[in-house]
Amino acid sequence: MADFDAVVIGAGCAGSAAAYELARAGQSVLLVERGNFAGAKNMTGGRLYTHALERLIPDFRDRAPLERRVTHERITLLADDAGFTIDFASQEMKEQGQESYTVLRAPFDQWLASEAEAAGAELICGIPVEDLIIDSSGVVGGIVAGGDEITADVTVICDGANSLLASKAVGARMPLPVHMAVGVKQVYELPADVITNRAMAQSNSDGSAWLFVGDCTKGHFGGGFAYTNAESISIGIVAGLEALANGGEATVCQMLEDFKAHPCVAPLIAGGKLVEHSGHMVPEGGFDAMPELVGDGALIAGDAAMMCLNLGYMVRGMDYAISAGQMAGLAAAEALAAGDVSKKGLSRYRDWLESSFVLKDLEAHRGAPEFLEGFDRMFDDYPKVVRDIMNGMFVVDGLSGGPLRDAVMPALKSVGIFNLFKDAKGALKNL
C-alpha cells in the first residue's frame, strides 16, 4: 500500500490547485514544496486573471490576498529617448469573472496552499524532490525527497519551468533555449495614495498593468513590465534566453537598471524603497514546446507543462496553471476512485484540457513564439519610427512645418512599406 494516494510536487498555482481538488475528493495527498514556504521560489510580474480561480474557489474575493484590480491597460513602445503609450480603460475590465488583479506570489501562494491544507492536504516545505520512483515498466510510483522514498499511486508534477522530473516521467525533451526566457523583477514600496495617483486610478483598490517593448531589452526579443500593488510597484524585464546569448554584452540585470532609469519609467518608482529582487526562468515556447501531459501514474501541469502565453500585449500563465492544476486534481481523484491510474485511466485530464480554454488558447496562438522571436523590427525599429512620427507632429521649433505626411512618410519608409505590410499580416495571423 502506498504512503499517499497522491503526491503533488510544487506548491505554486498548479500544484496547490491540484492538491486542493484531491483533498476535497477525500484522497490522501502530500504537497511538497522545495522553498521554505509556498511562493518562496516563485515569481511573476504579477497579474492574475480571476476566471480560473473563481471556478476553483468561488468566494476567493473575500479571502485571497489580492493587491489591486487592474482598471488601466498600458502598452509603451520605448525608444532610447522617448516612449509612445497606449492607455486603455474599460468598464468590461471591472465585471466579475472578467476582471484581473495584481498579486505578489509569496502571500498569494501561501494562501492558496493553505486552502489545500484546509481541505485536507498535507504540506511539507523546504524539501526538494530529488527524483521519481519509476518501476521497470515506466510507471511512476512516488518521489525521492530528502533521501527518503515516498510512494504514491499518482504523482502530479508542478515543479516549474525547465522541469527535470517531467522529462523523467514522460520522456519529455528539455526545453530549447529559444523556448525559454529570463525574468528579473524588483518591488518598490510606496504609499498607496502615491501609487494611485501615478496609475491614474480612481481609488486605492484600482491600478494598472503596463507592458513595454523596445529599448527595455536593447532591441532584443522580450519586454518590460510594471504592475501596481496595494503599497508597492513591481517592475521588471523578461528577455529571451537565446536573444540574450546572442545579444552582445547586455545582461538582463543591466537591462533592468537602464529600464528603471528611462525618463518614461523612472517617475513611476521615484522615491520608492526597494524591498524585493528576484529572478526566474519563464517558459515561452507555447503549444509546440509542451511535453506529453499524462503518463502511467503521472500528470504534468503549470510551468512544468510550458503553460504560458506571451503575445506581447498580454502575458498569461497563472490562470492556465490554476485551471490545469484543478483538472489534474479532479482527473487524478477520478482515476484513484476507479482504481486505474494508468495513462489511459488518467487521460481525462488531457481530454478536459483540450475542451477548455487552456489548450484552445495555446493552440490558437501556437505560431506566436516563433513570430515574436523573429519580430526584430518591433523590438528595435518600430519604437524609433513612432518616436520620429510623434516628434514631427508635436515638436514645435519655430520653423515652417509641413503637412502630416512629411512627418509620417520618411519614418515609415525607413523600415520599408513592404515590411510594414508583412509584419502587420504576421501579427494578425499569430497574435
> Phi first, then psi: what are they for 84, rounded to 5°?
-115, 120
What does the pLDDT read at residue 402?
75
CB 223 within 8 A of CB 212: yes
Residue 245 clears pLDDT 80, i.e. is over it: no
CA atoms of 309 and 304, how far apart (whole Å)? 14
Residue 22 clears pLDDT 90, i.e. is over it: yes
The mean per-residue pLDDT over the stretch 269-294 comes to 93
CA atoms of 342 and 108, how far apart (whole Å)? 33
DSSP symbols for 365-428: TTTHHHHHHT-HHHHTHHHHHHHHHHHHHH---SSPP--THHHHHHHHHTT-HHHHHHHHHHHH
C-alpha cell at 239: 528577455
The strand pairing partners of 239, in sequence order, are 182, 222
Residue 400 clears pLDDT 70, i.e. is over it: no
What does the pLDDT read at residue 46?
87
pLDDT band at 249 (very low <50, low <70, confident <90, very high): low
What does the pLDDT read at residue 296?
97
pLDDT band at 27 (very low <50, low <70, confident <90, very high): very high
CB 371 within 8 A of CB 417: no
- CA-atom Rg of the chain in angstroms: 23
Query: SS3 for 190?
Result: coil
Residue 392 clears pLDDT 90, i.e. is over it: no
Query: 375: Cβ–Cβ under 8 A, 6 or more apart, which residues?
Result: 221, 423, 426, 427
Considering only residues 405 and 391, tell me which one the structure prediction assigns the higher pLDDT.
391
Average pLDDT, the chain: 92
Query: 303: Cβ–Cβ under 8 A, 6 or more apart, which residues?
Result: 12, 14, 158, 160, 161, 163, 282, 283, 317, 321
Q: Label residue 333 exposed, middle or buried (CB < 10 Å: 0-12, 13-18, 19+).
A: buried
Per-residue pLDDT of 88-117, as tens digits, reads 999 999 988 899 999 999 999 999 999 999
Residue 386 clears pLDDT 70, i.e. is over it: yes
The mean per-residue pLDDT over the stretch 156-182 comes to 88
DSSP symbols for 214-251: EGGGTTSSEEEEEEE-SSEEEEEEEEEHHHHHTSTT--
**Residue written as grid cell 503526491:** 7
What does the pLDDT read at residue 424?
84
**Residue written as grid cell 515569481:** 43
pLDDT band at 54 (very low <50, low <70, confident <90, very high): very high
For the chain, domains (ranges, CATH) are 4-56+104-175+286-364 (3.50.50.60), 179-283 (3.30.9.90), 375-430 (no CATH)
Long-range CB contacts (within 8 A, 24+) of 344-347: 346/154, 346/294, 346/297, 346/298, 346/299, 347/294
Residue 247 clears pLDDT 70, i.e. is over it: no
Query: How many C-beta atoms surround the C-beta of residue 256 within 10 A?
Result: 23
C-alpha cell at 332: 487524478
What does the pLDDT read at residue 87?
95
The mean per-residue pLDDT over the stretch 123-137 comes to 94
The mean per-residue pLDDT over the stretch 117-137 comes to 95
What does the pLDDT read at residue 97?
87
- Of 114, 127, 139, 167, the closest CA to residue 35 belongs to 127
C-alpha cell at 404: 502630416
Per-residue pLDDT of 309-330, as tens digits, reads 999 889 999 999 999 999 999 9
CA atoms of 281 and 368, how far apart (whole Å)? 19
What does the pLDDT read at residue 374?
85
CA atoms of 321 and 309, how far apart (whole Å)? 11
Query: 405: Cβ–Cβ under 8 A, 6 or more apart, which residues?
Result: none
CA atoms of 126 and 111, how far apart (whole Å)? 17
The mean per-residue pLDDT over the stretch 54-76 comes to 96
Residue 134 clears pLDDT 90, i.e. is over it: yes
Query: SS3 for 220?
Result: coil
- Of 103, 42, 47, the closest CA to residue 74 belongs to 47
What does the pLDDT read at residue 339?
96
What does the pLDDT read at residue 89?
92
What does the pLDDT read at residue 242?
77
Span between the terminal Cα atoms of the chain, in Å: 49
**Alpha carbon separation from 56 to 20, 52, 80, 291, 300 (Å, rounded):** 9, 7, 44, 25, 18
The mean per-residue pLDDT over the stretch 241-251 comes to 72
Considering only residues 427 and 303, tell me which one the structure prediction assigns the higher pLDDT.
303
Quote the Cα angle for 115-118-124, to 5°: 80
CA atoms of 178 and 242, how far apart (whole Å)? 5
What does the pLDDT read at residue 248?
61
C-alpha cell at 271: 522615491
pLDDT above 90 coverage of the chain, percent: 70
| pTM, rounded to two decimals | 0.94
Considering only residues 245 and 197, tell me which one the structure prediction assigns the higher pLDDT.
197
Query: 219: Cβ–Cβ under 8 A, 6 or more apart, which residues?
Result: 376, 379, 380
